[in-house]
Structure 1
Amino acid sequence: MRYPQLVEHLASGPIVVYVLMKTNCIDEWKRCVGPPNVAFARTYHPLTLRAIYGLDPETSAAANGFHGSDSRLAAHKEILFFFPYSDLDDTLNLDVMMDFIQNVMMPVINKGFGELYKENPDDPLRWFANWIMHNNPNKSESDARK
């Protein structure tokens, strides 16, 4: 799928975007998601994410449910598309990552889970996703007013 078609496809409905970073990440993610053809994935790689969650290939040729960059250059471009203010650094610094997870992410996630428990919504995943968006500690002042 070419880049403009990929962007159009990814923007055609709700999406969740992650940036994964680890040694050999691209190849490992490809193994997890499986081949892009859902029918082929279901036949020959039935335990991959596309085989399990991809849409029926009879009705949707493109909706395999997952995307993974095919190179570091493509990953860099795609990350900057979704996160334009990212400072991309190719080095893995486990101490910095763990500090960020422990001191920034976990307090927000724990507070969200507490609120989720109190609220007990019918659709907890969607509720939590919305709560995270509205309680993002990195959100700018203008984003907070929206």
Structure 2
Amino acid sequence: KRHVRLTPEQAAELYRGHYGTHHFPHLVAHMSSGPIIALVLTAKNGIQKWKTLMGPAMVLEAQAYWPDSLRACYGRRTKYGDYFNGLHGSENLAEALREIHFFFPNMVVGPILRHWQVNDYIQRHLTPTLLPALTALAHERPAEPILWLADHLKRHNPNEPELAPQPSEQREDARCHTPKPSEESLVK
């Protein structure tokens, strides 16, 4: 999600596929007239699902035949024609990738994980760390369970080297960098 205000040049670049049509100047003027919200939505058949939710591009058609569509609810008719329907959706995957990189240039677009891939990731990477932590949490029953769990996960991060815990006396001495006094020095 990104809130952005396009310049006329940026709007023209975004809608370059409409260049030469009679509504192109109005589209550019409208898209650069105020802030917009850019979203990246992912789902299996996501482009088609989003198009179905949006409804027809023509607001009057959307209101007449698809009254529950987003364009029927949020689109508006203008004196220039029925161009400002309030929403945009990519036509195809290639267009979606171009538009994603337009608004989110640093985003890495990868494939959507399949159900078995999600399960495999959970079993391989989350369960070995989270299950022992949640078990310890259940045995410990701390007053602040979320803080306890966060601290436990931080101390048992599998991507960090694990240091052997020191007894509390040694830790205090190590903090102040003074050796523990010997019995002889205390007697003198």
Do both proteins adopt the same fold according to a TM-score greater than 0.5, normalized to the shorter chain?
Answer: yes
Equivalents in 2 of 1:86, 1:93: separation in Å? 20
Q: Paired residue for 2:152?
A: none
Unpaired runs of at least 5, structure 1: 100-146
Q: Paired residue for 1:67?
A: 88
Equivalents in 2 of 1:57, 1:33: separation in Å? 19
* Deviations 1:79-129 (CA, angstroms, capped at 9, x unpaired): 000001111112337858xx9xxxxxxxxxxxxxxxxxxxxxxxxxxxxxx
Q: Paired residue for 1:82?
A: 103
Q: What is the CA distance between 1:13 and its match in structure 2?
A: 1.7
Equivalents in 2 of 1:76, 1:34: separation in Å? 22
TM-score, normalised to structure 2, is 0.45
- The percent of aligned pairs where both chains have the same amino acid is 36
Q: Paired residue for 1:18?
A: 39
Unpaired runs of at least 5, structure 2: 1-14, 127-188
* CA RMSD between the two structures: 2.8
Q: What is the CA distance between 1:57 and its match in structure 2?
A: 4.9
Q: What is the CA distance between 1:68 and its match in structure 2?
A: 0.5
- Amino acid of the residue matched to residue 46 of structure 1? P
How many residue pairs get aligned? The number is 97
| Alignment map for 1:80-119 (pairs within 5 Å) | 80-92=101-113
Q: Which has the larger radius of gyration?
A: 2
Equivalents in 2 of 1:79, 1:12: separation in Å? 21
